[in-house]
Amino acid sequence: MNIKRLGIAIFPTPNDLVFRAAELKSHHAISHADTFVVASAMEYNATVVTGYSEFKQVETFVKILWI
């Protein structure tokens, strides 16, 4: 299946994004993968759509749509 047909965008992972995710991980008790979600949302001014309560500790950094 072609991922573009699903409307999913794939973004590059530049070093700045990696370093931002690492900094988030060092200060907050969230999973490594979720730090990339937050760092990416910060980089692209995107909204995080989630129901995971661990994102409450970073909701001052990004807009979160709670489901």
Is 5 domain-assigned?
Answer: no
The pLDDT of residue 1: 58
Helical axes 15-27 vs 32-44, angle rounded to 10°: 120
Q: What is the predicted pLDDT for the residue at 30?
A: 95
Residue 36 pLDDT class (50, 70, 90 cuts): very high
DSSP state of 49: E
pTM tops 0.75, yes or no: yes
Tens digits of residue pLDDT in 52-62: 999 999 999 99
Contacts of residue 17, Cβ cutoff 8 Å, sequence gap at least 6: 36, 39, 40, 43
Q: How many domains does the chain have?
A: 1
Q: Which domain holds residue 26?
A: 12-66
Q: Is residue 36 part of a domain?
A: yes
Average pLDDT over residues 37-48: 95
Is residue 6 in a domain? no
Q: Which sign, positive or negative, has the C-alpha torsion 13, 35, 24, 58? A: positive
What would the mean pLDDT of 30-45 be, rounded to a whole number? 95
Tell the residue number behind the tokens 């794939």, with chain if given. 10
Indicate if the pLDDT at residue 2 is higher than 80. no
